[in-house]
Chains A and B, each alone.
Chain A
Amino acid sequence: MIEDLIQIAKRPLGYGSDGRNIDVFDDDTFLVSFPKSGGIWTRFLLANLLYPQEPVSFRNIDRLIPELEFAKRRMLKRMSCPRLLSSHEYFDPRYRKVIYLVRDAREVARSQFRHQRALRRIGDKRLAGNHAIEQFVTSFIAGDGSDYGSWGDHVSSWLVPRQNANDFLLLRYEDMEAQTGLELARVAEFLGMKASQDSIAQAVERSSAVQLSELEGDERSASADDSSGHDLAVGRPGAAGSWREGLPETCIADLETAWGPLMKWLGYELALAKDHEARARVEPVSPGAPAR
C-alpha cells in the first residue's frame, strides 16, 4: 500500500521510471536485448564510439545511453534528441529504429542462473546436484517471473516482424566477441556515422575493462555457487560456447527442444536435439540466411 503511494507520488514529480511506458519519439534508436545477453558491454562500446571526448564509465553511462528499466522519466525528457536508449523490452511497435542484440539461449540461461544465484533470488540449499539449475531452466523456458517474456518470446517477437526492415540491425553477441571491430563498424554504419578504424579501435579498447568486469561478474557468481557446495563446472565465463561446461545435458536438451529451430536459424548449432525432436513449439522465422 505504502509502496503504491510512493510510486504514485513519484509519477507527477518525474522521479519514477516508466520502463515499458516511456514516451517514444520517432527519432529514438533502441539497443534492445534480453537480460544477460551482453547488453552492458555493447552499451559501453556504443557510448565510447559515440562520445569519444570522454571515457565512458559506470558513472556517466546512464546519462549517455540510459537504461529504460532504471532511467527517470524526468531525465529521459530532458535528453537531447536523437536519443539512443537501452531496453530489455520484448516487441514494442513504437520502437522505430532498433539494434537487436541476441545471445545463445543456452549461454543466457547459464548466465542468468549464476546471476540470480549471486543475488540470492534463487538457490534452494535443499536441492542437491544439478536439481537447482534444472528447476531454473524449466522456469526459464516457460518465462516464469520474467517481465520480458521468455528468451524465445523475446527474440521471435522482434525478429518476425522486423528482421528485414531497414531500420533493424541484428547483432549476435558471439560475433561481437569474435570480431568486435567489424561488428561495431556495422553498428556505426547503421547509425549513419562515419567512424574511422582508429575511432572504432579506441572504442573497443576503452570498453575492454567493462567486458572484463562483466566476465568477472559471471566469475564471481560462479564461485558463489562453488562455495555453496554445488557441483557446477566453471568454464571461461562469458566466452561463447562455455554453456557446454556449465549446463547439465538435460537442460541443454530442454532448451534445444523448446527453441531449436529458432536457435538454428540464428546460427547456433544444436548439440543434442535431433531435428525431428526439436519440434517447433515456437514456430520461428522462416528458413533462410539470417539478415547479415
Chain B
Amino acid sequence: MMYGVNRTAKYLLGKDIAGRQIAVRPDDTFIVSYPRSGNTWTRFLIANLLYADRPVTFANIEQLIPDAEAQSSRYMKRVRSPRVIKSHEYFDHRYPKVLYITRDPRDVAFSYYNFSRKYRQIPDDFPLERYVHDFVTGALTSAPWGTWAENVGTWVAARNGRPSFLLIRYEDLIENTETELAKVAKFFGLDPAPEKLRAAIEKSSAQRLRELENKEGSEWVTTKNKRSDIPFVGNAVAGGWKSKLPASAVAEIEGAWGPLMVSLGYELTERAAGGSIGL
C-alpha cells in the first residue's frame, strides 16, 4: 500500500546513494567511464596530481575524489567545491565538465566477468560466453549504466569536440601514460610539468595499487565484504581478450558494436556485419 517507504526514509535521512540523483554543481568535474575501464587508475593519477602533498590510498580516495555511486547524497553534499567526482553514468546533460575514459569492450567484458565473480553476482563456473551475451544485450543485473555502447555512445555523440569534454582511451593511457596524463592535467587546469606527472604516475602504478588493495581492500567501500581472492585492481593490460575470450564471444561483441568500436580506434578481428552505429 505504501510505495517506496524505504526510499523515502533513506531520502529523509540523506542516506540514499547519490548516483544518478546527485545534485550537480556548476564547478563539478566528473571522471566518467563504463565500469572496468581504468577509472580507478585515472582517479589515483588525478588525485596524486591534485594532492601531491599527501599519499593517496584507498583509505582516503573517497574523500579526495568521491564515487557518486558509492556515497550518499548527504556525503556528496558535504564535499567542498570544486568537486572532482567519479561516475559510471551514461550521458547526463547536467554534468558540466567531463573526462571520459573508454576501453576496448572486449577487454571490458572479460574484466567485468571477473568483477562479477568477485561481487558474487555469478558463480565461478558461470559460462563466459553466456556472460558476454548478457553483457552485449544489456541483461546484466549489475549494469544500471546501460550497455558499453550506450554508455560510450551517448557521451561521445552528445559531447565530443567541446572544450568541456575530454575523451581518453585506456589503451593510450597505458601506452603513453605521460603524454595522455599531460592532456588530463591541462584539462583540469593543472601544471603538466614532466616531473610532476612522473611522480603521480609512479604513485599510481598498478603494483602500488595492488599493494594498497591488499592492505586496505577490506575497508574500501567498493571492495568491502567482497571476495578477496579475486583482485579489484586488474592486470592493467590492453588486448588481454585475445587469449581470454572465445571467438564466438568476440564475434558477438563486434557484431553488435563494430562500427562504434572502429570509430574509437579499436580494430576488429573480422568485418562486422551491417550497422552504422558509429559516430
Which A residues fall within an 8 A CB radius of B? 8, 11-14, 21, 73-74, 77, 90-91, 93-94, 143, 146, 148-150, 152-153, 156-157, 159-164, 279-288
Contact = CB atoms under 8 A, between A and B. Distances in A.
A142 to B, nearest CB: 10
Contact of A164 (B7, B21, B274): B274
B158 A157 contact: yes
A8 B93 contact: no
Give the top 4 A-B pairs by smallest Cβ distance, nearest first. A93-B146, A149-B93, A286-B278, A160-B157
A21 B8 CA distance: 13
Contacts of A288: 276
A161 B8 contact: no
A12 B2 CA distance: 5
B91 A163 contact: no
Contact of A286 (B2, B8, B263): B263
**By DSSP majority rule, is chain A's interface helix, strand, loop, or mixed?**
loop
Contacts of A285: 157, 276-279
Mostly, the B contact residues are loop
Contact of A161 (B93, B149, B274): B149
B278 to A, nearest CB: 4
A93 B5 CA distance: 25
A11 B276 contact: no
Contacts of A150: 93
Interface of B: 2-5, 7-8, 11-12, 21, 90-91, 93, 138, 144-147, 149-150, 153-154, 156-158, 160-162, 259-260, 263, 274-279
A93 B150 contact: yes
A93 B158 contact: no
B147 A161 contact: yes
Contact of A143 (B93, B146, B150, B260): B93
A289 to B, nearest CB: 9
A160 B3 contact: no
Contacts of B276: 163-164, 285-288
B147 A153 contact: no
Given A11-B3, A286-B259, A157 B274 contact: no
Contact of B138 (A13, A77, A93, A164): A93
Given A8-B11, A161-B154, 20 more contacts: A11-B4, A11-B7, A12-B2, A12-B4, A73-B3, A74-B3, A91-B90, A91-B146, A93-B138, A93-B146, A156-B157, A157-B91, A160-B156, A160-B279, A161-B150, A163-B276, A282-B157, A283-B157, A286-B259, A286-B263
